Amino acid sequence: MNFNIDISIVVPLYNEVESIPELFTWIKKVMDENHFTYEVMFIDDGSKDGSWNIVENLRVLNPEVKGIKFQRNYGKSAALQKGFEAVIGRVVITMDADLQDSPDEIPELYQMITKDDFDVVSGWKKKRFDPLTKTIPTKLYNWAARRLTGIYLHDFNCGLKAYKNEVIKSIELYGDMHRYIPPLAKFAGFSKIGEKVVQHQSRKYGTTKFGLNRFLNGPLDLLSVVFMGKFGKKPMHFFGAIGTLMFFIGFGFAIYLGVEKLFIHKSAKLIAQRTEFFISLAAMIMGVQFFLAGFLAELSGRNSATRNHYLIEKTIL
């Protein structure tokens, strides 16, 4: 694939009016020093502080500056998705607009993609300047993500990442899936995922956008990513297997209770009066429900417009 420029930088932002000019000046300095051709795509996620005016002013003197502005705040995943759809660079680099990510890392990230042939390189903020209320949940999420995805990164949620262009064109972000782009890339067939220790800086302007909803959304999104990656095309293999197993456990237990009452302990109390009977009955009912859930998911999938959507790397016809 031929690309018009070396690097596309995607910067989602929300109320970062003070940071944008300084960030772009820093990016431009690094790009010019390394003779990269580039574009900087600012995605304004519904800012109310004049951030978009800054982007428009930068564009007047810098044709490398591009931008998309949302009518309202949709979240970081939506901003990255629209940025990924628009960029044209050989290597795509994401970073936050709050100056906590250093553009000085860009040349080495670019080399890891182009020379070392990584599909994805994730930053690792080994030394952080965030409060404990942010770092402790982050450590827990990273531990859980490593266990569930099999990708051994220290910092899944680091905003500073680099990708081959074909990676970001092959995945779709929604909800809060921006935290788990490496697993999405892996499930899309891009398994060469690397990591680089990057410099983390304390916030210089504005306030953090970290919210308490992350405590709930993070684990749920992680489970969604893992499930869709493994069973998105075959939900019956998951729900059907669990349902069948539970049904036969309950059914087998009910048969045992019947045999015991009829042939072994005839004087024992009625089966319907035993706690074990209701346990076996609940297992069978839950087994049927799981099986039906898988069956309905299969029906839904077969009627989906994307049921035969597969990522194709090369074709000879």
* Residue range 82-135, pLDDT digits in tens: 999 999 999 999 999 989 899 999 999 999 999 999 999 999 888 766 666 666
Residue 219: inside a domain, yes or no? yes
Residue 118: inside a domain, yes or no? yes
Residue 11, pLDDT score = 96
Same-domain pairing of 266 and 220? no
Same-domain pairing of 29 and 158? yes
Residue 316: inside a domain, yes or no? no
pLDDT in tens, 146-179: 888 888 888 888 889 999 999 999 988 877 788 8
189, amino acid identity: G
Same-domain pairing of 180 and 34? yes
Q: What does DSSP assign to residue 118?
A: -
Residue 4, pLDDT score = 82
pLDDT over 70 at 216, yes or no: no
Better-scored residue on pLDDT, 277 or 305: 277
Same-domain pairing of 221 and 259? no
Q: Are strands 38-44 and 5-13 parallel, antiparallel or unpaired?
A: parallel
Cα 174-179-180 angle, rounded to 5 deg: 85
Same-domain pairing of 227 and 128? yes
**Average of per-residue pLDDT values in the chain:** 84
Share of the chain above pLDDT 90, in %: 42
Q: What is the mean pLDDT of residues 232-236?
A: 74
Same-domain pairing of 41 and 150? yes
pLDDT in tens, 30-69: 999 999 999 999 999 999 988 999 999 999 999 999 999 9
pLDDT in tens, 176-200: 788 888 988 988 889 899 999 998 7
Residue 302, pLDDT score = 63
Q: What does DSSP assign to residue 266?
A: T
Same-domain pairing of 124 and 265? no
Residue 226: inside a domain, yes or no? yes
- Domain containing 54 equals 5-231
Residue 50's region, left for phi above 0, alpha for psi from -120 to 50, else beta, is left
Q: Are strands 161-164 and 193-197 parallel, antiparallel or unpaired?
A: unpaired
Same-domain pairing of 211 and 239? no
Same-domain pairing of 201 and 297? no
Q: What is the mean pLDDT of residues 205-223?
A: 64
pLDDT over 80 at 232, yes or no: no
Same-domain pairing of 204 and 288? no
Closest residue by Cα to residue 115 from 152, 83, 90: 90
Residue 309: inside a domain, yes or no? no
Q: Which of 197, 231, 265 is the last residue of a domain?
A: 231
Which of 127-141, 142-156, 225-239 holds the top average pLDDT?
A: 142-156
Residue 249: inside a domain, yes or no? yes
Measured CA to CA, the distance from residue 90 to residue 112 in angstroms comes to 13
Share of the chain above pLDDT 70, in %: 83
Better-scored residue on pLDDT, 141 or 54: 54
Same-domain pairing of 166 and 293? no
Q: Which of 231, 263, 287 is the last residue of a domain?
A: 231
Residue 190: inside a domain, yes or no? yes
Measured CA to CA, the distance from residue 270 to residue 288 in angstroms comes to 25
Closest residue by Cα to residue 201 from 72, 9, 26, 78: 26
pLDDT over 60 at 317, yes or no: no
Asked if residue 7 lies in contact with residue 45, where contact means CB atoms within 8 angstroms, the answer is no
Same-domain pairing of 226 and 243? no
Residue 307, pLDDT score = 52
Q: Which of 231, 255, 290 is the last residue of a domain?
A: 231
CATH classification of the domain holding 146: 3.90.550.10
Residue 125, pLDDT score = 85
